Structures are given as C-alpha cells and as structure tokens.
Amino acid sequence: MTADITDLKRQAAEKAVEFIQSGMVVGLGTGSTAVHAVRAVGRLLQSGALQNVVAIPTSEETTREAQSLQIPLVTFDTHPIIDITIDGADEVAPNLDVIKGLGGALLREAL
C-alpha cells in the first residue's frame, strides 16, 4: 500500500470521526482504514474533546487497539443500540454498492 493510499484512508477515517458526539455508543470497525478511526477516537477521548463515549468493536484486533488507547468498551448486551459505526469498505462497486467482510472478522461484522 502506498503512502498516498494510507493517507487517504487516514483522512477518510478522521472525517468520519468528526460525526461522533460526546455520549454516543460507537461501533468500531476492523482493518486498515478503521484503525485510523480507532486511534482518532482515542486521541479525542484522551484530550477531553469527546467524553462519555463507549465503543463496541467488530473484532479482537480492534478490541486490542481500543483497549491500548483506553477507549471504554461495552457489548450489545449492555448497549443494544449503536449511534454510529465507522468502518472501511472492502470493495466498492462503480454504483457505490459496498462489500464488507473479506477478512477474519466476517462473522462478527455481520452480526
């Protein structure tokens, strides 16, 4: 992956994070784009720009990243309604249909 693509993924993720507001339940996706969003959420929580945000990760990989950034994690059992979910697309068709779940998180992402 070139630096240009990586930077575009980071920009997309950080733009998506701008839609998060304090007090929200946030779904955190999995993969090379979503990791940028997880890191941005962590930075905003650490700085105090976001408060009382909890997250539900879509994979063990995302769980570990979120925990390392001290993002409070919850489950569907305690928070069955998610306010916003941020995730990258695995494939986008010319008509903008999106395919998710090419990797190992397929089952968890689909739930």
Cβ neighbours of residue 93 closer than 8 Å, sequence gap 6 or more: 99
Among all chains, which residue has been given the structure tokens 């990258």? Answer: 88
Residue 109 bears catalytic tag: yes
Q: Which string of DSSP letters, residue by residue, matches 1-13?
A: --HHHHHHHHHHH
Q: Which residues are catalytic?
A: 109
